[in-house]
């Protein structure tokens, strides 16, 4: 939810992240995955789907998705999925590998512009789009959640660096009302 | 700073997201032990390095992590085509140009 | 403000209610808001703003914008000092402190030196004579340059912003404004950048009305419409500095310089990195000066600049004006001057019979027009006092009558126009000479950029407006917006009919060029017409070579004024046309950029990201010394109070050998590999086989490049029938991951296998030492830890300290060891639990240094330290890890049998025992066979790893020695830079527990 003026950045609580590989053209695979996770796998490049308050699926590549589950434990979800998926698919619990933050506010887009060469203008990057790209001197997955609100997923080892980076980049937009991001 | 269309992400992205991965369409010999030292040396080291259109591989490092092919003019850096692994570009330039 | 002796009583776009105080070379002066430093200096009657680079001649302000070559100033002092600014581009603010660039002490040095520096001095000294350069270099270094480096860290903040637009319009003069307006109306995303604080360009000094509006009203209305549109972004104070491949441009935006020197709470400069689908270059043109003797005297200025100072800043930079022109347009300056109530001594016009409407207007105003004449020389001490004029012959290369002198203290010159084609040239497109325009024009920039307005040679204001509108519409339509047709209604403007210009690039003097007083072509680097002719006489033919020989255009102004005159003079000296001679190319940046802008926020803590493990704050709290491994911060060792590094490492090593120690190994690369063909794939990637590896077992593997050299190593575990976990070295994690994808995606897409990086997912604590099992038992593990149930090279899954865990019984130390992995969110919890449980056993945290000592005692190599990209497994004594004759083979196997890889004298891994039993050999030390050899010295090898071993109470080392595996027991020598020569004995690389018993306890 956009906070209006300035930029807010807060860590999102995600129960589990899973990396899923399989054949996007196989409806059976997609159905099985959706039945366990509750969310459709997006097949359109650079888009994401969500099941309100429950799960999100991000397109990472033509046969690769990142699942973000609000509830559940990564290893359990991994084995539940493995039990039902074709053995040629791959599912890996990566809950420890990622940190997710939500960046919001009317200047959130400007903070993204400072951080990444990708075009985050709403004309190009509307709600429902996601992109893996260069972010400062690391990489990140950025998803447009609402107008002026973005989910950003990055690797845990870069979290200290990127959170400080975001705070620094947002400072000029928050200076007037004294809020810190 | 190039702008490269990733055939998998299906949009043009900035060069920072990619890494160059050498000349394209150099298949590994099916039976390396059957090749002479000279043939094997060519496979290892000899590259075309043309002036003009050049087929090369790039990988979308910060994006979808997929390797793909780029037809790039080494004189003006124009990218004439990008295409997925295992494909040839739709508008194949004349053989003499390569 | 009585000091502003040359300020007009009214007029100009300055705010007379806001007086500003500033200093220049220590003098306190006053100006107004809206002034540039240059206009304020001129208002105060400051004639001399610096001394020239080579001859230390006094110099005054020549121009009014980016072209200014002389008024190069330094603002502020100490850390906040900013060198190399053009006073014409510095907005005045209250309290501004400026200094001219040359301090008196080295002006004199340069002056003395300059008399001995013929053209080509640098070139000849660099190319020819090392000793001469060595001798001159300190003096030149001291003298050269335009300012002094700040003396401390820059207190300001700089950053970058990425931008994307459909149409980028460069320049907000008449053509740029109308282009932006048309593009904006189409709905395209438009970005408009201009280097000045105010948009409008030449319109800000325009005295003619545009239709019913004053020129500045028209500008205000246009800006108003642009600013109101959501699809337009306006960037004033923003110089488009670079134009790179694929329409990538950089824009340097100066955000705070007009407010004062240090702005701790704001970004001083922002580098915009722009991706534009279309670029419209409306960069205008810069007036071309005229080359005559002593044309560098203060008081010689560009005619447009004089007009701009009068009209825009209400400053008259002199009393009596002489206009020297080749064209009609410059007559406006004389008319403006007269309107300002000042005296015009004469207009000296190169043309035999000038007759346009402006010429008529000047005559009507009673101004004397001296046709067919030229100013051959300026005379004065510190400022122009007189001009020497003479009639010019028909071919323009000699005088045609007697000279005479006119009194004046300002000579306004106009030699025509040089389009500002720098940005187009930066893309590699060569400008072309147009005989009609008597100028270089931008070359064909293709379908993604176009030029419009004065940069294309267009002179008429109305035409600039119309062409700009068309360019804006065209660019927008190419991006899918609008029809490409323009709806722009160009305002009616009084455009007087003119007569053709008569270009003149070098004004003849009564004496030949080589003996006439200096005729300056490039003011900033003191290049004269004689220098260029000398270069031609010495045989230089290419304009690029002459540039380097004479330094023409090498200054920070990149020859914005001098370039075309220089080319023309060279062409004449070579007997060629200007088109044949061609021009040099321009490089980014258009005007100098600060290092701060280029660095952006990538400084200090953001210079290089630090990657942290989940246990990072624990290490921090224990005072760990850090080692950077790639981007990772890893504990190097944990010093206790009063300990040296060696003492700490000795203590850590002995704890691992005798008790229990713990290492944060989370940084190791980890890749999850799944699929029916995972085993087949690993067989092809590793030198060793994985097909028959049992589930729950681990195996060490070497990964080779296709040329047979070692790329990476590590332990891979089989977690399930079709699932493996690969460990890579910390530094190679991403390269190995890309390597696996490369082979799978490009060569073997038919193999059913998937890779997922899990480096960040797992936190790893390596529990090492004979008592490690006890600690693991105490912390609680639902895994049978007994020696026979959990063997060396086994992997088990279960719970450790209540966390889901994978435990590997693998060892990089030779000791009993359990590497406990838990998901990273539990890493700190696991670590705390192990430290707690281990306290009764004296558990000792250790860092990378101890890890290295322990592995070196065992003769375990580190890829990248003991190998350098040229070593094969055999070189490292690791043939045991290679299985040739696998069904498919593996990457690199064919290369292992290449003849060069079979040589007996290849460098091979050995151990080295220091002969005195005491001295640690230096890592990187070169090894020779003969302690005092005559040069050239044949190298026997080098030391790759070297430590003091606390367990063995002596130094140990690993090294690569030619044919070393057959030289056990021989002595090699390591000569040091300080003259000492250390001796070492070649020994087996395994120093400790060669049978490998300890890891099986
Ligand atoms: Zn991609």
At A106 the pLDDT is 94
* C757 at A interface, C-beta within 8 A: yes
List CB contacts (< 8 A) between A118 and chain C: 162
Residue C784, Cβ neighbours under 10 Å: how many? Answer: 10
| Chosen from A91, A96, A110, A164 to mutate, greatest number of chain C CBs within 10 A | A96
CA–centroid distance, C548 to ligand 1, in Å, is 45
Residue B37 is nearest to which of C706, C738, C898, comparing CB atoms?
A: C898
- The most confident of the ranges C406-415, C487-496, C992-1001 is C406-415
Contacts of C857 (CB under 8 A, 6+ apart): C814, C949, C951, C952, C956, C991, C992
Multiple choice CATH, A16-96, 1.10.645.10, 3.40.470.10, 3.30.70.1520, 3.40.1350.10: 3.30.70.1520
Q: Does residue B83 have a cis bond before it (omega within 30 degrees)? A: no
Task: Compute CA distances C163 → A42, A113, A141, C228, C249, whole Å.
Answer: 28, 7, 19, 19, 10
Task: Compute CA distances C888 → B33, B70, C419, C870, C885, whole Å.
Answer: 10, 30, 65, 24, 8
Is C63 in contact with C561 (CB distance < 8 Å)?
A: yes
List CB contacts (< 8 A) between A93 and chain C: 761, 823
Ranges C103-107, C127-131, C266-270: which has the least confidence:
C103-107
Assess whether pLDDT exceeds 60 at residue C249.
yes
| Cα–Cα distance measured from residue C153 to residue C751, given in angstroms and rounded to the nearest whole number | 55
**Burial status of residue C116 (CB atoms within 10 A of its CB: 0-12, 13-18, 19 or more):** exposed
* Length reported for chain C: 1001
Residue C609, Cβ neighbours under 10 Å: how many? Answer: 19
Assess whether pLDDT exceeds 80 at residue C140.
no
CA–centroid distance, B63 to ligand 1, in Å, is 5
List CB contacts (< 8 A) between B79 and chain C: 246
Assess whether pLDDT exceeds 70 at residue C420.
yes
The fold adopted by the segment(s) B3-83 is Folate-binding fold (3.30.2270)
pLDDT in tens, A56-101: 999 999 999 999 998 878 888 899 999 999 888 999 999 999 999 9
List CB contacts (< 8 A) between C162 and chain A: 113-114, 116-119
Classify B21 as helix, strand or coil.
strand
* Global confidence as pTM: 0.93
pLDDT in tens, C780-813: 999 999 999 999 999 999 999 999 999 999 999 9
Specify the higher pLDDT residue, A44 or C123.
Answer: A44
User: In the numeric block, which tokens belong to residue A21?
Assistant: 């590989």
List CB contacts (< 8 A) between A160 and chain C: 610, 612, 616
CA–centroid distance, A134 to ligand 1, in Å, is 12
**Superfamily name with CATH number, domain A7-12+98-176:** Probable tRNA modification gtpase trme; domain 1 (3.30.1360.120)
Assess whether pLDDT exceeds 90 at residue C437.
yes
At C264 the pLDDT is 65
Query: Which DSSP letter does residue C407 get?
Result: E
Domain locations along chain A = 7-12+98-176, 16-96
At C110 the pLDDT is 45
Please judge whether C275 and B65 are an interchain contact, meaning their C-beta atoms are less than 8 angstroms apart.
no
Please judge whether C164 and A159 are an interchain contact, meaning their C-beta atoms are less than 8 angstroms apart.
no
Helices and strands (H and E) in chain B: how many: 1, 6
Contacts of C970 (CB under 8 A, 6+ apart): C985, C986
* C756 at A interface, C-beta within 8 A: yes
List CB contacts (< 8 A) between B9 and chain A: 45-46, 131
CA-atom Rg of chain C in angstroms:
38
According to DSSP, the residues that pair with C627 across neighbouring strands are: C634
Instruction: For chain B, list residues with pLDDT below 70.
Output: 89-98
Is C249 in contact with C233 (CB distance < 8 Å)?
A: no
Classify C74 as helix, strand or coil.
strand
At C500 the pLDDT is 94
Residue A74 is nearest to which of C162, C757, C823, comparing CB atoms?
A: C823
Instruction: For chains B and C, count residue pairs whose Cβ atoms are closer than 8 Å.
Output: 52
* C884 at B interface, C-beta within 8 A: no
| Cα–Cα distance measured from residue C993 to residue C785, given in angstroms and rounded to the nearest whole number | 23
Residue C611 is nearest to which of A75, A114, A158, comparing CB atoms?
A: A158
Please judge whether A95 and C823 are an interchain contact, meaning their C-beta atoms are less than 8 angstroms apart.
yes
Phi, psi of C712 (to 5 degrees): -160, 165
Query: Which DSSP letter does residue C996 get?
Result: -
Please judge whether C611 and A110 are an interchain contact, meaning their C-beta atoms are less than 8 angstroms apart.
no
Confidence of residue C103 (pLDDT cuts 50, 70, 90): very low
CA–centroid distance, B64 to ligand 1, in Å, is 4
- Alpha helices by DSSP H, C435-577: 461-478, 529-537, 543-550, 563-574
Domain locations along chain B = 3-83
Task: Compute CA distances C800 → C621, C833, C866, whole Å.
Answer: 24, 9, 35
At A12 the pLDDT is 93
Is C513 in contact with C205 (CB distance < 8 Å)?
A: no
CA–centroid distance, B8 to ligand 1, in Å, is 5
| Minimum Cα–Cα distance from A66: chain B residue | B64
3-state helix, strand, coil in chain A (%, to 5): 30, 35, 35
Is C58 in contact with C25 (CB distance < 8 Å)?
A: no
At C76 the pLDDT is 85
| Cα–Cα distance measured from residue C80 to residue C96, given in angstroms and rounded to the nearest whole number | 12
| Chosen from B11, B15, B23, B65 to mutate, greatest number of chain C CBs within 10 A | B65
User: In the numeric block, which tokens belong to residue C113?
Assistant: 């030196």
List CB contacts (< 8 A) between C804 and chain A: 75
| Minimum Cα–Cα distance from C188: chain A residue | A123
pLDDT in single tens digits along all 181 residues of chain A: 444 568 999 999 998 999 999 999 999 999 999 998 889 999 999 999 998 777 999 999 999 999 999 887 888 889 999 999 988 899 999 999 999 999 999 999 999 999 999 999 999 999 999 999 999 999 999 999 999 999 999 999 999 999 999 999 999 998 654 333 3
* Length reported for chain A: 181
Among candidate residues A153, A151, A148, the one with its CA nearest the CA of residue A7: A148
Instruction: For chains A and B, count residue pairs whose Cβ atoms are closer than 8 Å.
Output: 39
Provide mean pLDDT across the span C944-963.
98
Query: Which DSSP letter does residue B2 get?
Result: -
At C81 the pLDDT is 86
Contacts of C494 (CB under 8 A, 6+ apart): C208, C209
Confidence of residue C107 (pLDDT cuts 50, 70, 90): very low
| Minimum Cα–Cα distance from C899: chain B residue | B37
* B32 at C interface, C-beta within 8 A: yes
Is C698 in contact with C808 (CB distance < 8 Å)?
A: yes
Q: Are strands C439-441 and C248-254 parallel, antiparallel or unpaired?
A: unpaired
Task: Compute CA distances C504 → C394, C565, C759, whole Å.
Answer: 12, 9, 70
Please judge whether B14 and A60 are an interchain contact, meaning their C-beta atoms are less than 8 angstroms apart.
no
Among candidate residues C685, B6, B63, the one with its CA nearest the CA of residue A64: B63
Angle between helices C848-857 and C645-658 (to 10 degrees): 60
At C398 the pLDDT is 97
CA–centroid distance, B44 to ligand 1, in Å, is 28
Assess whether pLDDT exceeds 90 at residue C736.
yes
CA–centroid distance, B66 to ligand 1, in Å, is 6
Specify the higher pLDDT residue, C3 or C192.
Answer: C192
At A177 the pLDDT is 42
Classify C432 as helix, strand or coil.
strand
| Cα–Cα distance measured from residue C289 to residue C312, given in angstroms and rounded to the nearest whole number | 21
Angle between helices C543-550 and C529-537 (to 10 degrees): 120
How would you classify residue A83: left for phi > 0, otherwise alpha for psi between -120 and 50, otherwise beta? alpha
Provide mean pLDDT across the span C98-108.
61
At A175 the pLDDT is 67
């Amino acid at each position: 939810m956009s906070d209006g003026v300035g930029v807010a950045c807060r860590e999102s609580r995600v129960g589990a992240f899973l990396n899923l590989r399989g054949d996007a053209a196989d409806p059976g695979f997609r159905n099985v995955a959706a039945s366990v996770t509750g969310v459709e796998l997006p097949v359109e490049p650079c888009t994401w789907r969500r099941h309100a308050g429950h799960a999100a699926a991000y397109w990472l590549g033509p046969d690769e998705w990142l699942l973000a589950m609000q509830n559940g434990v990564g290893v359990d979800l991994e084995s539940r999925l493995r039990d039902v998926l074709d053995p040629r698919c791959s599912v890996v619990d990566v809950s420890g590998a990622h940190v997710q933050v939500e960046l919001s506010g009317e200047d959130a887009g400007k903070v993204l512009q400072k951080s990444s060469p990708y075009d985050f203008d709403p004309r190009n990057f509307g709600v429902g789009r996601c992109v893996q790209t260069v972010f400062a001197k690391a990489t990140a997955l950025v998803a447009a959640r609402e107008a002026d609100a973005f989910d950003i997923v990055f690797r845990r080892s870069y979290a200290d660096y990127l959170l400080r980076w975001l705070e620094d980049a947002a400072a000029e937009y928050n200076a007037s009302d004294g809020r810190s991001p | 700073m190039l702008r490269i269309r990733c055939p998998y992400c299906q949009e043009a992205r900035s060069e920072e997201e990619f890494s160059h991965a050498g000349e394209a369409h150099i298949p590994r010999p099916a039976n390396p032990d059957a090749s002479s030292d000279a043939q094997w040396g060519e496979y290892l080291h000899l590259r075309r390095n043309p002036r003009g259109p050049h087929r090369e591989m790039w990988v979308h490092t910060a994006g979808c992590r997929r390797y793909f092919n780029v037809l790039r003019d080494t004189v003006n850096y124009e990218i004439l085509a990008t295409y997925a692994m295992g494909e040839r570009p739709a508008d194949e330039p004349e053989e003499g140009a390569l | 403000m009585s000091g502003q002796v040359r300020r007009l009583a009214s007029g100009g776009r300055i705010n007379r209610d806001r007086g500003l105080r500033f200093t220049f070379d220590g003098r306190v002066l006053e100006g107004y808001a809206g002034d540039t430093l240059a206009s304020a200096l001129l208002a105060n009657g400051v004639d001399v703003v610096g001394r020239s680079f080579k001859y230390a001649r006094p110099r005054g302000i020549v121009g009014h914008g980016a072209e200014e070559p002389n008024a190069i100033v330094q603002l502020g002092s100490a850390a906040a000092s900013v060198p190399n600014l053009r006073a014409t581009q510095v907005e005045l603010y209250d309290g501004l402190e400026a200094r001219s660039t040359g301090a008196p002490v080295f002006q004199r040095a340069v002056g003395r030196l300059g008399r001995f520096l013929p053209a080509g001095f640098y070139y000849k000294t660099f190319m020819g004579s090392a000793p001469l350069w060595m001798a001159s270099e300190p003096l030149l270094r001291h003298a050269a340059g335009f300012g002094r480096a700040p003396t401390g860290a820059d207190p300001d903040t700089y950053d970058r912003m990425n931008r994307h637009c459909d149409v980028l319009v460069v320049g907000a003069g008449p053509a740029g404004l109308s282009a932006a307006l048309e593009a904006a109306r189409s709905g395209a995303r438009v970005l408009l950048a201009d280097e000045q604080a105010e948009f409008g360009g030449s319109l800000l000094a325009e005295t003619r009305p545009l239709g019913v509006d004053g020129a500045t009203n028209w500008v205000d209305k246009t800006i108003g419409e642009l600013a109101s549109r959501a699809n337009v972004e306006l960037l004033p104070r923003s110089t488009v500095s670079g134009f790179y491949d694929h329409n990538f441009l950089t824009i340097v935006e100066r955000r705070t310089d007009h407010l004062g020197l240090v702005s701790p709470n704001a970004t001083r400069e922002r580098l915009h990195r722009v991706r534009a689908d279309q670029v419209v270059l409306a960069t205008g043109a810069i007036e071309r000066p005229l080359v005559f003797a002593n044309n560098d005297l203060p008081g010689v200025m560009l005619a447009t600049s004089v007009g701009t100072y009068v009209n825009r800043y209400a400053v008259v930079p002199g009393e009596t004006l002489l206009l020297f022109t080749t064209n009609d347009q410059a007559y406006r300056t004389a008319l403006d001057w007269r309107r300002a109530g000042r005296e015009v001594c004469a207009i000296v016009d190169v043309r035999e019979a000038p007759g346009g409407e402006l010429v008529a207007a000047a005559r009507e105003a009673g101004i004397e027009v001296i046709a067919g004449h030229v100013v051959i020389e300026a005379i004065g001490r510190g400022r122009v006092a007189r001009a020497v004029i003479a009639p010019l012959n028909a071919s323009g290369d000699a005088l045609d009558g007697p000279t005479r002198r006119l009194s004046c203290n300002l000579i306004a010159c106009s030699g025509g126009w040089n389009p500002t084609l720098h940005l187009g040239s930066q893309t590699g497109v060569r400008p072309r000479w147009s005989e009609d325009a008597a100028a270089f024009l931008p070359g064909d920039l293709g379908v993604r950029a176009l030029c419009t307005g004065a940069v294309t040679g267009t002179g008429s204001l109305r035409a600039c407006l119309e062409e700009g509108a068309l360019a804006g519409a065209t660019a927008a339509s190419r991006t899918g917006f609008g029809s490409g047709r323009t709806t722009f209604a160009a305002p009616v403007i009084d455009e007087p009919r003119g007569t053709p210009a008569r270009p003149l690039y070098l004004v003849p003097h009564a004496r030949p060029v080589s003996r006439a007083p200096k005729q300056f072509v490039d003011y900033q680097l003191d290049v004269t017409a004689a220098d260029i002719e000398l270069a031609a006489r010495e045989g230089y033919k290419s304009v690029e070579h002459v540039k380097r020989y004479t330094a023409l255009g090498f200054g920070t102004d990149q020859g914005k004024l001098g370039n075309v005159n220089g080319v023309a003079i060279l062409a004449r000296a070579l007997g060629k046309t200007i088109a044949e001679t061609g021009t040099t190319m321009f490089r980014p940046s258009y005007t100098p950029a600060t290092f701060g802008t280029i660095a952006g926020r990538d400084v200090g803590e953001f210079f290089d990201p630090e990657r942290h493990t989940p246990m990072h704050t624990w290490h921090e709290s224990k005072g760990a010394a850090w080692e950077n491994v790639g981007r990772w911060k890893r504990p190097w060792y944990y010093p206790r109070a009063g300990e040296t590094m060696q003492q700490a490492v000795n203590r850590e090593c002995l704890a691992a050998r005798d008790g229990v120690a713990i290492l944060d190994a989370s940084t190791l690369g980890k890749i999850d590999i799944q699929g029916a063909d995972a085993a087949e794939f690993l067989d092809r990637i590793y030198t060793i086989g994985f097909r028959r590896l049992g589930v729950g077992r681990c195996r060490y593997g070497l990964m080779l490049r296709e040329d047979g050299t070692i790329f990476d190593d590590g332990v891979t575990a089989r977690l399930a029938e079709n699932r493996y976990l690969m460990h890579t070295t910390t530094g190679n994690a991403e390269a190995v991951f890309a390597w696996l994808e490369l082979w799978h995606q490009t060569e073997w897409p038919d193999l059913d296998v998937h890779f997922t990086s899990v480096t960040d997912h797992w936190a790893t604590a390596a529990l090492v030492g004979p008592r490690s099992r006890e600690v693991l038992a105490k912390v609680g593990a639902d895994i049978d830890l007994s020696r026979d149930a959990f063997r060396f090279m086994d992997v088990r899954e279960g719970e450790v300290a209540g966390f889901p865990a994978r435990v590997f019984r693998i060892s990089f130390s030779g000791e009993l060891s359990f590497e406990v992995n838990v998901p990273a969110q539990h890493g700190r919890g696991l670590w705390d639990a192990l430290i707690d449980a281990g306290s009764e056993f004296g558990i000792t945290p250790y860092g990378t240094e101890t890890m290295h000592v322990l592995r070196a005692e065992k003769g375990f190599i580190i890829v990248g330290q003991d190998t350098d990209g040229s070593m094969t497994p055999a070189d490292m004594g690791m043939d045991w890890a290679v299985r040739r004759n696998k069904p498919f083979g593996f990457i690199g196997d064919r290369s292992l049998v290449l003849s060069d890889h079979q040589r007996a004298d290849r460098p091979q891994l050995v151990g080295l025992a220091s002969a005195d039993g005491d001295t640690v050999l230096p890592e990187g030390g070169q090894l020779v066979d003969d302690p005092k050899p005559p040069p050239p010295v044949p190298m026997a090898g080098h030391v790759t790893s070297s430590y003091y071993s606390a367990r063995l109470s002596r130094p140990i080392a690993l090294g690569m020695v030619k044919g070393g595996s057959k030289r056990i027991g021989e002595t090699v020598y390591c000569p040091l830079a300080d003259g000492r020569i250390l001796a070492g004995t070649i020994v087996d690389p395994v120093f400790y527990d060669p049978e490998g018993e300890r890891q099986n306890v």
